Structure 1
């Protein structure tokens, strides 16, 4: 994290006093980013922490960088991630390629959220 690329903002996700993951803003252009959320401990999954982190990182991006367009990508097999993105208002824009996810080949789905 000390040598992040110029186009990446990475913030830690802290619960209590423990670092449990990170949230990324990877700049596509001056008004658009791809967000990434990772929660390391599986026992923390499904508790809304990722959704709250996504909301906070998007609010930060909107205020600090005047971002208006957010992208995200997940695997078709990652049902929790899909539900989170849709709950946050993201819309599916395309299905691209395949990648390994949990030992199986899974289609990648791209999402977009526009802020006015």
Structure 2
């Protein structure tokens, strides 16, 4: 059975849940993010508050359609008139491997290309993060370069043509 999801804007109220994810080292194994210590709910709240209204960032919560449960984040950062940087993580580990990352990626890319009228999206993925790499390839991202453990990938608006998603 497919896990049906939707995206909604990230809010400061999400900090209570997302602060727990920030303190789960398994979520951050393959990222450049390294916490310098325990992240409290208030620290996370302030972090979200500082970012949700930035003009060059669009941050979304990934939620389950069945019960509105908040299970992860997906975002576009460093948005310009042409491009943006893509970030994704599923904080609720029981939803890893359930197609959530793929569905969320398609939804965000459609938003980026059709609503924001961007031409290309880039991301960096750890070379050992085979699950994420697989999602990104399935969506249409192509490897561009590799620097150390990280592979830079990109996708342009034409790559989404023909990909359908019913959520």
TM range (shorter): 0.7 to 0.9
Aligned pairs (5 A) from 1:44-55: 44-55=95-106
Aligned pairs (5 A) from 1:27-42: 27-42=78-93
User: Of 96, 103, 106, which aligns to 2:147?
Assistant: 96
Q: What is the SS of the residue equivalent to 1:3? A: helix
User: For residues 49 and 74 of structure 1, do their structure 2 counterparts lie closer, same or farther at Cα, with a shift above 3 Å needed?
Assistant: same
Aligned pairs (5 A) from 1:46-85: 46-85=97-136
CA RMSD of aligned residues (A): 1.2
Higher strand share: 1
| Counterparts of 1:17 and 1:24, CA distance in 2 | 19
**Aligned residue pairs, count:** 107
Gaps of 5+ in 1: 98-106
- 1:28 to partner: Cα distance: 4.5
| Counterparts of 1:3 and 1:19, CA distance in 2 | 20
Computing the radius of gyration from Cα coordinates, the structure with the larger value is 2
Higher helix share: 2
Q: Is the 8 A contact 1:38 1:50 kept in 2?
A: yes
Runs of 4+ in structure 1 deviating by more than 2 angstroms, as ranges, are none
Q: Is the 8 A contact 2:57 2:79 kept in 1?
A: no
| Counterparts of 1:56 and 1:2, CA distance in 2 | 24
Moved more, 55-64 or 26-35: 26-35
Q: Which position in structure 2 is the counterpart of 1:6? A: 55
- 1:6 to partner: Cα distance: 3.0
